[in-house]
Every structure is written in structure tokens, then in C-alpha cells.
Amino acid sequence: MNVTGRCHCGAISYEAVVDPAKVTICHCMDCQSLTGSAYRVSVPVARQAFALRSGSPGIYVKTGDSGAKRAQAFCTRCGSPLYTYGVDDASTYGLRVGCIDQRRDLPPHRQKWCSSALAWSMDISDLPRSARE
């Protein structure tokens, strides 16, 4: 599937080809902190199927519990988290679904690190809803 994406302010944009069946939710504590939310939703893309179209992201390198270093690409102007990749192996990027224009067509198919999940985030179906606010 061809996708386009951009940060919130529009300074950085990209296009990529992704497999919608590979969208995942990650509940690990790093993803909670890096997104400022209960979990992160991402889709992998091969490096050669990804192209920046405008701007240049800032990079923050996070060392995981395993010792692996992951580069976190973000907009230095608006702070939007855009994608991640392995510092030692940048063959695959993990695009943050919230910045993809076609995000409505990319529902998650799997959850991981559920042992770190915030219990309330696992079922919000009973919360009151409003179309806008």
C-alpha cells in the first residue's frame, strides 16, 4: 500500500510502501514515554521503500534493555514522532501510524509488550464518546 505522511506542522513529509497486515500496537514503557500516550502504533517499511520528500528530522538514540540502539526520528519544530530504525541495522523503518495520511486504512493486527500495558487501555469501548469537542 502506498502511503504518505507528515509531521503535525508539515515541515517534514515522506512517502512509503507498507504492508497493512503488519501494523502493530506496542505497550512497552519506552513506547509509552516516547509517544506520551498509552501505546504506540507502527508499521514497518523497508528502507528502500521509504523516501523523505521534505525536511530533515531530528534524531534521538534510545538504548533498549537488550542494548540495541534505536534512532527515533522526530520533527524538531512540532515534536511529532515520525519513525524509528536500528542504529546498527537501518534496513527497516517503523513508521508511526498517527503521522500517516491513510491511517484510517491501517488498523492494528497485533499487540506486543502487553505485560506493560496500562490496564485501562485494553478496553475503552464503554467510555462516553463525542464526535467533536
pLDDT tens-digit readout, 101-129: 999 999 999 999 999 999 999 999 999 99
- CB of 22 closer than 8 Å to CB of 109: yes
Please tell me the class of the 2-118 domain. mainly beta
pLDDT tens-digit readout, 43-74: 999 999 999 999 999 999 999 878 889 999 99
**Cell of residue 114, nine digits:** 502487553
pTM: 0.91
Task: Lay out the sheet containing 13-17: strands in order across.
Answer: 2-6, 13-17, 50-54
- CB of 75 closer than 8 Å to CB of 82: yes
- CB of 102 closer than 8 Å to CB of 4: yes
Q: How far apart are CA 12 and CA 5, in angstroms?
A: 8
